[in-house]
Amino acid sequence: MIELVSDLAISAASRHTTSTSQIASQANPHAERPTSGEPRSTADASASAAPHSAAVPSPAAGVELSVVVPTFNERGNVAEMVRRLDRALDGRSWEVIFVDDDSPDGTAELVRALGRTDRRVRCIQRIGRRGLSSACIEGMLSSTAPYHAVMDCDLQHDETLLPRMLDTLQLGTVDIVVGSRYVAGGGLGDLRQFRASISHFATRLSRLVLRCDLTDPMSGFFMIRREAFAARVRALSGIGFKILLDLFTWSGQPLRYREIPYQFRARFSGESKLDTRTAWEYLMLLLDKLVGRIIPVRFVGFALVGSLGVGIHLAAVWLLFGGFHVDFTTAQAAATIVAITSNFALNNVFTYRDMRLRGWKWLSGWLSFLLACGVGALANVGIASYLFESSRTTWAFAALAGILVSAVWNYALTAVYTWNRPTRG
Ligand SMILES: Nc1nc2c(ncn2[C@@H]2O[C@H](COP(=O)(O)OP(=O)(O)O)[C@@H](O)[C@H]2O)c(=O)[nH]1
Ligand SMILES: [Mg+2]
């Protein structure tokens, strides 16, 4: 998936290059220009040496800081976000890149409308995809700036800290500056007790995979040097909400970091997207960091859903056979369909959230899932019977071997024929 992410972002970046070169000929009040005492770029030098140099506009310098803001249904916050960035980053050369996952509330259209009167505002609109981390990755990849900040669009992060973060990075002693709610001076503001407990619990869980003492890996508010990001980008899983955790768990050179305190604010407008799927994705991210190099994390998700399916199957047999006195074979057949259907629905919502099937595609996906799992069930029974009858293995081992083979079969086949779009990670 990361390869695809990179491809997409590279094409986004090349599109951006065209547009920046188009706008470079216009005066840009926020772009840095070399002063007469500074070394000039090759392009500049050749322009002044050319006989018609007066007619050739000197290229404006690129932006210093890209602020990447992932959005989903944030129409009510976008304009205020730009206003606050404008105030906070006065005198700096910056741009804001909103990465929107085709929000139904028209966030992307609003961003583009703002961009028509303010070239510092850019929009990447992703179609048919979801995911906060992958949105941040693509936003950063589309930037040409030497420094990238990531912050939420709900104004819960304190944008007035951005200049300090930038100054700290420019000293060159650290790779990343992280806004933390858990160092002296920081705080959770009036975050509700329940949300605060979830945040504390998730932070504690992150210790399973973190290789440093970062106090707030759940923060989502940070600024990083481009080279430090570029060195890690191919190793990022891009799963879920927690890009910071992804960055800090890279097995190579540890990130040199500094934390600065901030007070978490209340959401300005709209609703949080934190839900059960977010929790699931967090679990998948942790698993990916723990076992991802040995087993694909989607397979782990698929297997977890499958084990839940066993419970659903048994409950259905109990209800039909025990409760409604349907004959056993019919109850078992109906329970099989119920379990396969619920497995398909759960995998569609959780395991394959980023390529979720809807409408008619849901129906055709269900049929292909049913078919693949039907063949998988035959393989299961065949292998388990063969092992049990032909050797002296125990019934439990034979049964488990059958289950494992059918799980791998079901996973491999449905990954290709049910959720067969090319964005798989
Ligand atoms: N592009 C993109 N942005 C998302 C997605 N989910 C959430 N966001 C954005 O990520 C930021 C944090 O989300 P939020 O719902 O505020 O999470 P919370 O702060 O944990 O409640 C906000 O700017 C959201 O609009 C997503 O699937 N795709
Ligand atoms: Mg938020």
Q: Which has more confidence, 284 or 36?
A: 284
295: three-class secondary structure by DSSP: coil
Q: How confident is the model at residue 239 (pLDDT cuts 50, 70, 90)?
A: confident
Q: How confident is the model at residue 306 (pLDDT cuts 50, 70, 90)?
A: very high
For ligand 1, is residue 101 a contact (CB within 6 Å)?
yes
Q: What residues are neighbours of ligand 2 (ion), with CB under 5 Å?
A: 152, 154, 156
The rounded Å distance from CA 153 to ligand 2 centre is 7
pTM: 0.70
Q: Could you identify the residue written with the tokens 């292909």?
A: 368
Distance CA 359, CA 177 (A): 44
- Average model confidence (pLDDT) for the chain? 82
Lowest mean pLDDT among 69-73, 121-125, 373-377: 373-377
Decide which of 1.10.540.10, 3.30.70.120, 3.90.550.10, 3.40.50.300 is the CATH code for 2-21+61-291. Answer: 3.90.550.10
What letters, b where the CB count within 10 A reaches 16 and e where it falls short, cover 20-46? beeebeeebebbeeeeeeeeeeeebee
Q: DSSP string spanning 67-105?
A: EEEEESS-HHHHHHHHHHHHHHTTTS-EEEEEEE---TT
Is the pLDDT score of 176 beyond 50? yes
Which of the ligands is closest to the CA of residue 240?
A: 1
Distance CA 4, CA 355 (A): 14
Q: How confident is the model at residue 16 (pLDDT cuts 50, 70, 90)?
A: very low
Q: Which has more confidence, 295 or 1?
A: 295
Measuring CA to CA, which residue among 387, 391, 384 is closest to residue 406?
A: 384
Which of the ligands is closest to the CA of residue 156?
A: 2
Q: How confident is the model at residue 10 (pLDDT cuts 50, 70, 90)?
A: very low
The rounded Å distance from CA 152 to ligand 2 centre is 6
Nearest CA to ligand 1 atom 18: 272
Is the pLDDT score of 144 beyond 90? yes
Distance CA 406, CA 372 (A): 10
Residue spans of the domains in the chain: they are 2-21+61-291, 297-417
For ligand 1, is residue 282 a contact (CB within 6 Å)?
no
Predicted confidence (pLDDT) per residue in 246-269, tens digit: 899 877 888 999 999 999 888 888
The residue whose CB lies within 8 Å of the most ligand 1 atoms, and thus the one to mutate among 152, 198, 241, is: 152
Predicted confidence (pLDDT) per residue in 26-84, tens digit: 333 333 333 333 333 333 333 333 444 445 555 667 899 999 999 999 999 999 999 99
The residue whose CB lies within 8 Å of the most ligand 1 atoms, and thus the one to mutate among 132, 190, 353, is: 132
